Amino acid sequence: MLLAKIYVTLKPGVLDPQGEAVMGGLKAMGYEGVTAVRVGKYLEVQLDLDDRQEAGRQVEEMCRRLLANPVIEQYRYTLEEPAGLSTEESPRG
Amino acid sequence: MKFGVIVFPGSNCDQDVYHVLGAVLGQPVDYLWHGDTDVAGYDCLVLPGGFSYGDYLRAGAIARFAPIMPAVIDFARSGGLVLGICNGFQILLEAGLLPGAMRRNDCLQFRCQWTYLRVENNATPFTNRFREGQVIRIPIAHGEGNYYADAATLAELEANRQIIFRYCAPDGEVTPAANPNGSVGNIAGIINREGNILGMMPHPERCAESLLGGTDGRELFASIVDWWQRGERLGA
Q: Tell me which residue of B80, B125, B79 sits closest to B228, measured CA to CA.
A: B125
Q: For A58-86, what is the mean pLDDT?
A: 90
Distance from CA of B180 to the nearest CA of A (A): 14
Mean pLDDT over all residues of chain A?
Answer: 90
Q: Tell me which residue of B25, B217, B20 sits closest to B130, measured CA to CA.
A: B217
ipTM: 0.81
Strand (E) or helix (H) holding A59: helix A52-62
Q: B41-88, pLDDT tens digit by residue?
A: 999 999 999 999 999 999 999 999 999 999 999 999 999 999 999 999
What does R_g of chain A's alpha carbons equal in angstroms?
16
The CATH number of domain B3-229, selected from 3.40.50.880, 3.30.2040.10, 1.10.3210.10, 2.40.50.140? 3.40.50.880
Give me the pLDDT at residue A82, please. 77
Give me the pLDDT at residue A89, please. 60
Q: Where are the domains of chain B?
A: 3-229
Per the CB < 8 A criterion, the answer to whether B178 and B168 are in contact is yes
Question: CA torsion sign, A43 to A44 to A48 to A53?
Answer: positive
Give me the pLDDT at residue B236, please. 46
Question: CA torsion sign, B46 to B50 to B54 to B59?
Answer: positive
A66/B62 Cβ within 8 A: yes
Domain A2-14+41-89 grouped into CATH 3.30.1280.10: yes
Give me the pLDDT at residue A90, please. 60
Mutate to test the interface with B, among A9, A65, A72 (most CBs of B within 10 A): A72
Determine the 3-state secondary structure of B146 from DSSP: strand
Q: Where are the domains of chain A?
A: 2-14+41-89
Give me the pLDDT at residue A87, please. 55
A21 touches chain B (CB under 8 A): yes
Distance from CA of B106 to the nearest CA of A (A): 5
Burial A55-78 (b: 16+ CB within 10 A, else e): bbebbeebbeeebbbebbbbbbbb
HEC letters along B35-89? CCCCCCCCCEEEECCECHHHHCCCCCCCHHHCCCHHHHHHHHHCCCEEEEECHHH
Instruction: State yes or no: pLDDT of A83 exceeds 90.
Output: no
Q: Which residues of B are catalytic?
A: 86, 203, 205
A15 touches chain B (CB under 8 A): yes
Taking 50 as the pLDDT cut, the residues of chain B under it are 236
Q: For A31-56, what is the mean pLDDT?
A: 96
Q: Tell me which residue of B88, B109, B105, B58 sits closest to B190, measured CA to CA.
A: B88
Do the strands B111-119 and B163-168 form a parallel or antiparallel pair, or are they unpaired? antiparallel
B103/A72 Cβ within 8 A: yes
| Dist. CA B181–CA B110, nearest whole Å | 9
Q: How far is CA B145 from the centre of its chain?
A: 12
Per the CB < 8 A criterion, the answer to whether B204 and B216 are in contact is yes
DSSP H helical ranges for B160-212: none
Instruction: State yes or no: pLDDT of A88 exceeds 80.
Output: no
Q: A27-43, pLDDT tens digit by residue?
A: 999 999 999 999 999 99
Question: CA torsion sign, B72 to B77 to B83 to B86?
Answer: positive
HEC letters along A13-37? CCCCHHHHHHHHHHHHCCCCCCCCC
A66/B65 Cβ within 8 A: yes
